[in-house]
Each structure stands twice: as C-alpha cells, then as structure tokens.
Amino acid sequence: MITVNRIDSSKRPPLKMLAVGLMLGAVAVSASACGGAKAGAAAAPVAKAKTVNIALTGKIDADKGPAGTFTGKEHWPAMAPSDITFAKGDTVVLTIKEYDDAPTALPAGSPYGTVAGGTMTVNGVAGTTVSNANIAHTFTIAALGINVPLTKAPTDGVSTTVFTFTVNKAGSYTWSCMTPCGGGANGMTGSMATKGWMKGNVIVS
C-alpha cells in the first residue's frame, strides 16, 4: 500500500513571497556592510596649528640682582627654562628677557649676529642684526637654521627680544649659544657646553 501525505496549501508560504523576502534580506545585508565600511574608514581629526607663547630668561653670571635673573656663578650665564616644547606647524612666539649687560663679541666673520629662520624685534623695534658691541648671547638651533642674536641689557636693566618662527618637521633638537660666553681660554666650555645652562633641548611633536 502506498501512503500519500497531503500538504495543506493554505499553510505553505507562497513562492513569490518567499523569493521577495530573500531578496530584501540580501539588500539589507549589503547596505549594512557598505555602511560599516564607510564608518570604519572615517579619518581621524587633524590637530590644528596654533600660536604658542614661550618665555625665557637670560640670566647674568652675577651674584645679585632681581630674583631669577642671575646665576651666582662666574662665567656661567644661563637661559631658563633650558628645554622648550611645541608642535610642528605651530607659530611660536619666543620672548627672551636678557639680563646680561656685558657684550660678548663673536669671532670675525661669524654669521650668528644675523637673524635666521624667523622675525625679530628688540624692545619693540624690528631688527635683523645685532652688532658685536651689543650682542650678549644667541639662541641658535643649528639643525633648523634658526638663529636669534640677543642684545645685551642696559646696566641694571633688561633687554626684551621677541622672535617668531614656525617649524614644520617634528623631532628632537638642541639649541646653543654661539657667543664665547663660557669658561676656558676660548670661552666655549663650562656653561656653553652644559645642557641646562647655555644649551638645551627643543622638542617638536
């Protein structure tokens, strides 16, 4: 005997409806995948360049004066703070208050009496050079082509140099003073050769 199982057509989903449901499901999956890819590929926000104001103090190698303006150690002038940090692309406004009132002449033919890598004002007046009769120190980042000649202070006074510049390459650099203001026969030892005095770090992130 052969038994035949009948299927109640009223309980079976129509074939057309089943096909349409499968197509809609495929479209939904595809759209979800595309949306997910776009969301995942969103670029991270880029940091905007800004203006950074940095203040330094040029300390005289004397044993008296206003607090924070002298080192108390002969032949050991200093620049404080000795380390500075900023981001590439920033406009850096470097304000240096110099309290050393003694000129330290550069060797003949030295280029370090001329501004390089930015613009400078001294006591509010724009300038591009400082003469040997008036130069006390320099703030020089040789690897970046930056040089700031610093005018000596008047007796018991202060000279203010403002230097504006931008660095577009991240890295760690060293600034130095190029006048022979330290110890030794040539004035290039002692504070000149010691970080934390007339040499320091420049960190560009």
CATH of the domain at 68: 2.60.40.420
CB atoms within 10 A of CB 191: 24
Least confident interval from 3-12, 77-86, 137-146: 3-12
Within-domain flag for 18: no
Q: What is the value of pTM for the model shown?
A: 0.77
Are 93 and 165 in contact, with CB atoms under 8 Å apart?
no
Within-domain flag for 39: no
pLDDT averaged over the chain? 85
Domain total in the chain: 1
Listed in sequence order, the residues at least 6 apart from 44 whose beta carbon sits closer than 8 Å to its beta carbon are none
Within-domain flag for 177: yes
Residue 190 belongs to domain spanning: 51-204
Distance between CA atoms of residues 199 and 140, nearest Å: 9
Are 201 and 185 in contact, with CB atoms under 8 Å apart?
no
Within-domain flag for 100: yes
Are 204 and 87 in contact, with CB atoms under 8 Å apart?
yes
Least confident interval from 40-54, 67-81, 110-124, 125-139: 40-54
Residue scoring higher pLDDT (46 or 199): 199
- Can you tell me the mean pLDDT for 94-121? 97
Within-domain flag for 154: yes
Within-domain flag for 14: no
Report helix, strand or coil for 143: helix
- Can you tell me the mean pLDDT for 94-104? 97
- Can you tell me the mean pLDDT for 127-135? 98
Give all strands of the β-sheet with 199-204 in edge-to-edge order: 84-86, 199-204, 171-176, 135-141, 146-151
pLDDT (0 to 100) of residue 184:
87
Within-domain flag for 173: yes
pLDDT (0 to 100) of residue 46:
67
- Can you tell me the mean pLDDT for 12-21? 44
Within-domain flag for 16: no
